[in-house]
Structure 1
């Protein structure tokens, strides 16, 4: 993106009161280069270009807006952490998200549109080619034969090896994550991991063409699958990988997709992780209706037995993950300070669904700005958005478990620059009264 385009885009965002971090602006600028000029005006839906949506649409308005879109349009939601946007998101094809980046970019940005056809066609011209990596239990000499054979006609670099595993018939999550870390250190290309039961029907160039940090597929639109996982050569991608490896090593009995989900949530809350949610063609299963059009075909049958948990698992995360955002039990944003005091503070923003989107966004900006101005001695801030009272209870429980100071606020509440200093003073008074009654 040229300096002039950057300047014009910054001016448009400032006019609309939209606050984004630089990585989010970079993604937005890339989309402008692909689709055409951006607009904040919904009075006349363009046939092409980038539509920046600042307020949620519901009911008939969302339906009419959706019907007006064409494959030449893409929709960008700059404050997509707000669940008020979930209904419209459910009607669109989800392309990706870019996480918040502290006070400089305190919102999550979501982008989507009408189908993947435009990107799938353009990806064929990508000059960046990923290294395909895979591993399997030592002793099964034929495990990777079909995978190797399918890669031969695409001239892609690959590394497929047998590894020592605890079980003879499968690779456990921590073993897969440790293998990926070795590959990360050994090679310089972006990495695309697939299970050895996979075969390639087309060259898998979409993630590298999009230039993201990480790309994966959500089974049933909410269960993250580790069967196809792309990592770009970025510090943020490495942070996700190392977080996943630590979680897998600490909880080896937990399903790998859930651990990847938690690693994504934690990483996205701390850095502006640029995530692409891969289309089903990159995670097609044997027996799928669309298997003939697959880029990557896995030999699993159409079942969630090996892809995810039972239907009642992690219900609190489903709606959020379907909308590409963190849920109420997870911190939407984590900020740290240089304060020597290691205590943390959890700020819970309640009644998000029942409040004006602008008020919610302004409150998020006020909280992060106040913490950046003066942390009040708190070494860590975790900001959580809650739509309903049940969500507040879950967030409180999680914060209490971490022994954080808990503050509950409402959208539109005045947040002064000394917000955290004042509460730290209150804590000091309460402690003194406890010690010297």
Structure 2
């Protein structure tokens, strides 16, 4: 990079900091790093309010208020291929319609320095998949494993292709409980072992996959985790990139732990649950890889772009054994958002106790995005200032009564204290201290008050 390029990049980042501050947008460190990465690649950030049409030369469109249906349609039709849309308050279901119009590129979970889930997407992957900043020499090691009893033929084909692309690899036969396949717990253990053994970012590819080009996109994304979602909700571990970060390590630990505890559950759901848990506890930077990195065999020889072709039927029948499985979570995953039945954020305190408190935020469908965001910040800020003796805060956003009932049931089964609030309510500074003084576990405290 020349001195002129460096000066230009510094100018873009300075402009971004001013843009965020002047519009009251609070991002945690991981989210700020991602937006800075997008600005560096695509151009300046601009604000779109109420579906307003952004200027034509803008690279990053930031949306802080959910547009109406017609406004979302207008915004979508004016977007260039070479731009990205960023939603800083991605946990809010009011943004779901806009997200459904776009291709979701990734999410970054909340953290104590920024308690919101950031969503980012665009028209398609073309702007981010190539370009002058796309490195073909980025550090990467491809890993794979296969049952020892199946032989080495398919794995050798993958080794040969990687050698042709000059990509380091570690492909191994593993002992498995079933000679025909590698179960989720065995795959998770293998990936975790490889992560501890090597220093490069890892890209796991199933041993029976075929490469049509060098799979370098994930290593250029500077993320913790990258994988593909079929139908925008069903996670697959057939192509899985894991970066070199504490968040990536936590994801691997959680995946292995959950897969070992529930060996009979199919691996996509186990990975999904590990992702939910990790993303709620730290700002996990996740990228949703394009279909080209999880292409079924029918894509080969068609105009559709392919990079990694898996020996899969086009109906994806192997991903989930039950076509109706996970209906409650599909809408949320399709919108790139954790559902109301999940904890949106989990914050730990310094208190040496296992006691936890669940805050359920209701009425979010009738509140605007800024109001909900401010309430989330107020809850997490109050807990950070005075945890009331609780070791953990779990915050759930619940747009519907079914979500509220499910969140209460989960909290009660965990013996958590429960507070139910609305976004427009003012919380007392000693909220958690007051609740903590009453040790009636499982009870529900409903904050009283009416919208002014």
TM-score band w.r.t. shorter chain: over 0.9
Q: How many Å apart are 1:338 and its aligned residue?
A: 1.1
Structure 2 equivalent of residue 92 of structure 1 = 102
Deviation for aligned residue 1:9: 2.3
Number of residues of Structure 1 aligned to a counterpart in Structure 2: 430
Bigger mean CA deviation after superposition, 281-290 or 319-328: 281-290
Once residues 442 and 119 of structure 2 are traced to their aligned partners in structure 1, the CA distance between those partners, rounded to angstroms, is: 42
3-state SS in 2 of match to 1:353: helix
CA deviation after TM superposition for structure 1 residue 426, in Å: 3.6
Cα displacement (A) at 1:427: 3.5
Match for residue 165 of structure 2?
A: 154
Aligned to 2:324: 312
Contact 1:136–1:143 at 8 Å: present in 2 too?
no
CA deviation profile, 1:345-379 (whole Å, cap 9, x unmatched) = 00011122232111111110100000001001110
CA distance in 1, matches of 2:77, 2:376: 32
- Residue 177 of structure 2 aligns to a residue whose secondary structure is coil
Tell me how large the CA RMSD over aligned residues is.
1.9
CA 180–29 in structure 1, closer or farther in 2 if over 3 Å, else same:
same
Corresponding residue to 1:208 among 216, 219, 227:
219
The alpha-carbon deviation at position 291 of structure 1 amounts to 7.7
Residue in 1 aligned with 2:360? Answer: 348
* Unpaired segments ≥5 residues, structure 2: 1-5, 444-452
Shift of 1:386: 0.8
CA distance in 1, matches of 2:136, 2:434: 53
| Counterparts in 2 of 1:56 and 1:429: CA distance versus 1, 3 Å | closer
Contact 1:331 1:382 in 2 (8 A): yes
Partner Cα separation in structure 2 for residue 430 and residue 291 of structure 1: 57
Say which is worse superposed, 133-142 or 291-300, in terms of deviation.
Answer: 291-300
1:111 aligned to 110, 120, 140, which one?
A: 120
CA distance in 1 between counterparts of 2:141 and 2:412 reads 43
Structure 1 residue 124: deviation in Å? Answer: 4.7
2:91, 2:338 within 8 Å by CA — same for their partners in 1?
Answer: yes
Following the alignment from structure 1 to structure 2, what is the Cα–Cα distance between the partners of residues 339 and 188?
35
- Distance in 1 between residues matched to 2:25 and 2:215, nearest whole Å: 34
Correspondence for 2:432 among 420, 431, 437: 420
Q: Distance in 1 between matches of 2:136 and 2:365?
A: 41
Q: Which residue of 2 aligns with 1:19?
A: 26
Distance 1:254 1:132 in 2: 26
Secondary structure, in 3 states, of the residue corresponding to 1:144?
helix
Give the match for residue 395 of structure 1: 407
CA shift for structure 1 position 425: 2.5
- Give, in whole Å, the separation in 2 of the partners of 1:396 and 1:309: 29
Normalising by structure 2, we get a TM-score of: 0.91
Indicate conservation of the 8 Å contact 2:345/2:395, yes or no: yes
SS in structure 2 opposite 1:139? helix
User: Does residue 78 of structure 1 match 2:110?
Assistant: no
Change in CA separation of 1:426 and 1:4 when aligned onto 2, cut-off 3 Å = farther
| Paired residues of 2:226 and 2:287 also in contact (CA < 8 A) | yes
2:369 matched residue in structure 1: 357
Report the secondary structure of 1:40's partner residue.
Answer: strand
The aligned residue for residue 328 of structure 1 is 340
* Residue 243 of structure 1 pairs with residue 250 of structure 2: no
CA distance in 1, matches of 2:48, 2:234: 35
CA drift at 1:191:
0.5
Alpha-carbon deviations, 1:47-89, whole Å to 9, x = none? 2321110001121111001001001221100000001101000
Q: 1:46 touches 1:73 (CA, 8 Å); kept in 2?
A: no
Kindly report which structure 2 residues correspond to 1:29-428, keeping only aligned pairs within 5 A, or say none.
29-42=36-49, 43-47=52-56, 48-102=58-112, 104-122=113-131, 124-141=134-151, 142-288=153-299, 293-427=305-439
1:308 deviates by 1.8
Distance verdict in 2 for CA 1:81–1:127, change over 3 Å: same
**Secondary structure, counterpart of 2:364 in structure 1:** coil
Normalising by structure 1, report the TM-score: 0.94
Structure 1 pair 295–124 and aligned structure 2 pair: CA distance change class (3 A): farther
Structure 1 unaligned runs (5+)?
432-437
3-state SS of paired residue (2:36): helix
Q: In the alignment, is the contact (CA less than 8 A) between 2:145 and 2:174 conserved in 1?
A: yes
After the TM superposition, which parts of structure 1 deviate over 6 Å for at least 4 consecutive aligned residues? Answer: 428-431
State the alpha-carbon separation in 1 of the partners of residues 290 and 250 from structure 2: 24
